A and B are shown apart, each in its own frame.
Chain A
Amino acid sequence: MIRFFVEFFGAMSLFLAITQLSSNRLNLSVKIYQVQSLFLTLSIFSIGIATGEFELFLSSFLNLLIKVVLIPYFLFRILEKVKIDREVSMYLNITNSLLLSILIVIFSFYITNKIHISGEVIAHQIFPLSIGIILIGSFIMVVRKKAITQIIGFLTIENGILLAGTSLTKGMPMIVEIGVFFDVFIGVLMAGVLAFQIRTTVDSMDTSKLTSLKE
């Protein structure tokens, strides 16, 4: 039964990563990221119930605090300051990127099919799911132009890594985990400031326009 919940929440995270590709508004992207982190929290919490390790509960709580509350709050603040410029712009249109995402998911299921994971693992399907989330996150970083969406792609990758880590190894040591959370939070703060600076210098958050910068 617990395996059902772990895999269900993991699958919802992958679903929201795919939905990220179909969003055409920056607000919507941040909201989708928020819900995805919520499902990730639930998945880690279920693994915590299954293994009974206290550190996993702490990790899920930190996840809730930082990824569902603080980072989206900060990104919404940036979007408020930017005001106009709310449209997502991309190199590949939505339909095509969705069609490519199916190839990514098939690929991640195909490559992990060959890997035999030993040791006691609660949910076997979680590993291909998190590989899929990681690959789709990097795909988001590649196909999207705006700085904020690239931050979101990075955060999606991070979510996938966290899901893989907790589901396969029952969580890293606590000190490492806190370090990672802190790192991600500071990274997003800096990237946000950087995005805002890009906006003030080139008058747009479009990173493809950075090539026109001259001395």
Chain B
Amino acid sequence: MKNIILGFLQVFIVVAISPFIKTFIHKIKCILRGQKGPSLFQAYKDLYKLFNKEVVISKDASFISRIAPYMVLISTLWAVTFLPVFSKYTLLSFSGDIIALVYILAFGIFFIALYGLDQGSAFGGLGSSREVTIAALAESSLMLIIFTFALQTGSTNIGEIFEKVHEIGLSSVPVSFAFALISLLLVSLAENARIPFDNPETHLELTMVHEAMILETSGRHLALFELSSYIKLAIYLTVASNLFFPIGFYKETSILLLALSIVIFLIKVLLFSIPVALIEMSIAKFRFFRVPEILTLAFILSLISLIVYHV
């Protein structure tokens, strides 16, 4: 019973803070540019506004367009139920591991790509093809990073990996960790449509990737897509902060320590979102044909991290 409550609490926390993280990154960027920026709760307001608007669907669109937003949100939420945030008791921890988490997220990408193709507009297919290219290239490096940690902890269950990492701490194989950290940074920038790979804030036909697929979306469906992209970013930040900054009371179950570890978790996530904002500030978006080269770099770094761990 207690474990189920813990599981629901973790899902709730990830979903609840995800719009905040998005606005937090945006706010840092605005401050660095010398602008005032929106309030920190702008994303919640946007979502509320979008949820109250009606949906307009093209008359050529099939049933895919109706179900895809819900499927994307469901797959993201499903991934969150695997994800240990501050305790290893997640809702579905008995039935899946970190590999399942990666491929459930890929399930969401599949539906969003189908949605882009289904719209029948000129940009949808372009966006889908680019998104799938990036996702396919990024997936191998993500799997290799995961295998590094799975080898080290002797398990692919994500809860056990996090628990072991919190036990041994970082100081065992720093070289391997450094490469895995950089590689995970590159992969999560690519998968979450952040700036060197994609810029969701622009609507320029040459640069759109994520935005091109959901260009025709409106109202509630747009809100669902936005919410799932926020949650996805929160998932990557949670994985990164728990793997590379293992501080907190991961094993404890008393109420006070749990509250403390939630606070630590929030600080960790905000800390890990700062580099994302800094990178977005300092680099311009790459050409699309540069993307495979950078993802090759990510792949090589993850491979080195695996090898260095083994040697």
| Minimum C-beta distance from A35 to chain B (A) | 12
Contacts A95-B292, A95-B296, A98-B296; is A125 near B174 (CB within 8 Å)?
yes
Chain A residues lying within 8 Å of B308, measured Cβ to Cβ, are 109, 125
Q: Is the CB of B307 within 8 A of A8?
A: no
Q: Is the CB of A101 within 8 A of B300?
A: yes
Contacts A102-B300, A109-B311; is A11 near B294 (CB within 8 Å)?
no
Give the residue name and chain of the B residue nearest to A24 (CB): B290
Whether A138 sits at the interface, judged by CB under 8 Å, is no
Whether A38 sits at the interface, judged by CB under 8 Å, is no
Chain B residues lying within 8 Å of A105, measured Cβ to Cβ, are 304, 307
Q: Is the CB of A106 within 8 A of B307?
A: yes
Whether A10 sits at the interface, judged by CB under 8 Å, is yes
Give the residue name and chain of the B residue nearest to A100 (CB): B300
A71 to B30, CA, bound (A): 34
Give the residue name and chain of the A residue nearest to B293 (CB): A94
Whether B4 sits at the interface, judged by CB under 8 Å, is no
Chain A residues lying within 8 Å of B307, measured Cβ to Cβ, are 105-106, 109
Residue-by-residue, is B265-280 near A (CB-CB < 8 Å gives 1, otherwise 0)? Answer: 0000000000000000
Give the residue name and chain of the B residue nearest to A8 (CB): B174
Chain B, interface residues (CB within 8 Å), range:
20 to 34
Q: Is the CB of B300 within 8 A of A98?
A: yes
| Minimum C-beta distance from B136 to chain A (A) | 15
Residue-by-residue, is A84-126 near B (CB-CB < 8 Å gives 1, otherwise 0)? Answer: 0000000000110011011001100110010000000000010
Please report the total number of A residues contacting B with Cβ < 8 Å: 28
Q: Would you call the interface of chain A mostly helix, strand, loop, or mixed? A: helix
Contact of A11 among B175, B292, B293, B303 (CB under 8 A): B175
Residue-by-residue, is B69-105 near A (CB-CB < 8 Å gives 1, otherwise 0)? Answer: 0000000000000000000000000000000000000
| Minimum C-beta distance from B300 to chain A (A) | 5
Whether A73 sits at the interface, judged by CB under 8 Å, is no
A134 to B47, CA, bound (A): 52
Contacts A95-B292, A105-B307, A106-B307; is A18 near B300 (CB within 8 Å)?
yes
- Residues of chain A touching chain B, judged by Cβ–Cβ distance below 8 Å, are 1, 3-5, 7-8, 10-12, 15, 18-19, 22, 24, 94-95, 98-99, 101-102, 105-106, 109-110, 113, 125, 128-129
Known: A7-B174, A10-B175, A99-B296. 13 other contacts (CB 8 A): A3-B171, A4-B171, A8-B174, A22-B293, A24-B290, A99-B300, A102-B304, A105-B304, A105-B307, A113-B311, A125-B174, A125-B175, A129-B175
- 22 A-B pairs, CB-CB below 8 angstroms? A3-B171, A4-B174, A7-B174, A7-B175, A8-B178, A11-B174, A11-B179, A12-B178, A15-B179, A15-B182, A22-B293, A94-B293, A95-B296, A98-B296, A98-B297, A99-B300, A101-B300, A109-B307, A113-B311, A125-B174, A128-B311, A129-B175
